[in-house]
Chain A
Amino acid sequence: DADVTQTPRNRITKTGKRIMLECSQTKGHDRMYWYRQDPGLGLRLIYYSFDVKDINKGEISDGYSVSRQAQAKFSLSLESAIPNQTALYFCATRAVGPGNEQFFGPGTRLTVL
């Protein structure tokens, strides 16, 4: 089984709809992250969490919210989706310690019409 899983893998929705993307991990890591990937822009950090009670905004948090339901679960919500939120979304986890590897989920391709 994959260490970091994301659901759904693909989603098409309409402008104004509320969308939730879910992430689960079996790595036992405290640190979890949500990124979006757009062509030519690389990965940009949306939100991150260092433990269940810790939620922090990343560089592009406007229009997004998150929930850390447990150490293993970190959800990303788009309260009212808009077309420029069409992108590939990745969840990642990381162990404590400098230079440690980030483990990524397989991604969710979201299209907002």
Chain B
Amino acid sequence: TQLLEQSPQFLSIQEGENLTVYCNSSSVFSSLQWYRQEPGEGPVLLVTVVTGGEVKKLKRLTFQFGDARKDSSLHITAAQPGDTGLYLCAGDPANDYKLSFGAGTTVTVRA
């Protein structure tokens, strides 16, 4: 059983459509991170959310941290083929510098 559950596992959409990826847990996190991984590369950090209810925007990407700090979402507006990749959420529930990762959501944006 994963500490962080991501949904959906796969998402395929047309260019210009919107999408949302969810990351849920029964544990409370002091912060959650979102990474994106492209084929042949390691994950790269997109954002860290630290305050319950926080919303952060990165161009067309909007990240939200749940009020209870147990869940997070990633919303992409007007997706582009360059948004294609594996999106991973990660958190450190025990604050001991060990990240737990969700299984990831593979996003494919078709031109």
A residues near B (Cβ < 8 Å) are: 4, 31, 33, 35, 40-45, 48, 50, 58, 90, 92, 94, 98-99, 101-102, 104-107
Contact = CB atoms under 8 A, between A and B. Distances in A.
B31 interface: yes
Residue in B33, B41, B45, B101 with the greatest tally of chain A CB atoms within 10 Å = B101
A40 B103 CA distance: 5
Contacts of A31: 97
Contacts of B101: 35, 42-44
B66 to A, nearest CB: 16
B17 to A, nearest CB: 24
Given A4-B42, A107-B40, A42 B95 contact: no
B108 to A, nearest CB: 15
Interface of B: 2, 6, 9, 30-31, 33, 40-45, 48, 50, 88, 90, 92, 95, 97-99, 101-104
A69 to B, nearest CB: 21
Contact of A42 (B30, B48, B104): B104
A101 B98 contact: no
Contacts of A35: 101
Given A50-B97, A98-B31, A106 B42 contact: yes
Contacts of B40: 106-107
Contacts of A42: 2, 6, 88, 101-104
Contacts of A4: 42
Contacts of B48: 99, 101
A107 B50 CA distance: 28
A44 B43 CA distance: 13
Contact of A43 (B6, B9, B31, B43): B43
Given A40-B103, A43-B43, A99-B92, 20 more contacts: A4-B42, A31-B97, A33-B98, A40-B9, A42-B2, A42-B88, A42-B101, A43-B88, A45-B99, A50-B97, A90-B43, A92-B42, A98-B30, A99-B31, A99-B33, A101-B33, A101-B48, A104-B42, A104-B44, A107-B42
B103 A94 contact: no
